[in-house]
Amino acid sequence: MTNNDAMRSVSIVRTSAGKFRATNARGGILDFGSGGDDQFTPVELLLASIAGCSAIDVDIFTSRRSEPDTFEVTASGEKLRDEQHNHMGPITVRFEVTFPEGEAGDAARKVLPDSVQQSHDRLCTVSRTVQLGAPVTMDIAEGR
C-alpha cells in the first residue's frame, strides 16, 4: 500500500573522499562522512534518528504540561561484525528529563513514562522500522 503523500526520500552526493551531503525534499542539508573526522557517520545518524524521533514524541506530550528544565536523550549500541555481517546490536535509548517543581512539572513527570512507552510501542517511525525490519533494495540507474 503506497501513499504518495507519505513518500519520503533524501538524495546523497559525494563531496570529496569519504564525505557526503544529504539533501531532503524541503532543501535541508546534512553533511556526513566515513568517520575520519568529527562529522557524523551513517551509524551515528541512525542512532541520532532513533533518539531524535522519540525525543520529538516525548517532548510533544510532556511540554504541553510543562517546559522541561533539562531534556537529553542518548542512543547507544555496539556495532557488531559476526556471522550476520556488519550490524548494530541491541540499541538503548535513555531519557534524562527534569521538570520544574510545581503542579505543571508534576503533570509532565506523570506522563513521561507513558510518553516514552508510546513512542517505543507505536509512534516513533524510525525505531519502529528498525524493530519491525523493512526490506531494503538497491539498484543501479540505467545508463550510468
pLDDT in tens, 46-72: 999 999 999 999 999 999 999 999 999
Residue 1 has pLDDT above 60, yes or no: no
Q: CATH number for the domain including 122?
A: 3.30.300.20
Task: Indicate if 75 and 124 belong to the same structural domain.
Answer: yes
What would the grid cell of residue 42 be? 551513517
Nearby residues of 3 by Cβ (< 8 Å), 6 or more positions away: none
The boundaries of the domain holding residue 100 are 41-132
Residue 113: inside a domain, yes or no?
Answer: yes
* Helix, strand or coil, per DSSP, at residue 139: coil
Q: What tens digit of pLDDT does each residue of 21-48 get?
A: 999 999 999 999 999 999 999 999 999 9
How would you class 128 by CB atoms within 10 Å of its CB: exposed for 0-12, middle for 13-18, buried for 19 or more? Answer: middle
Same domain, 48 and 31: no
Same domain, 106 and 88: yes
Q: Let me know whether 99 and 117 are in one domain.
A: yes
Res 2: pLDDT = 58
Q: Are residues 53 and 35 in the same domain?
A: no
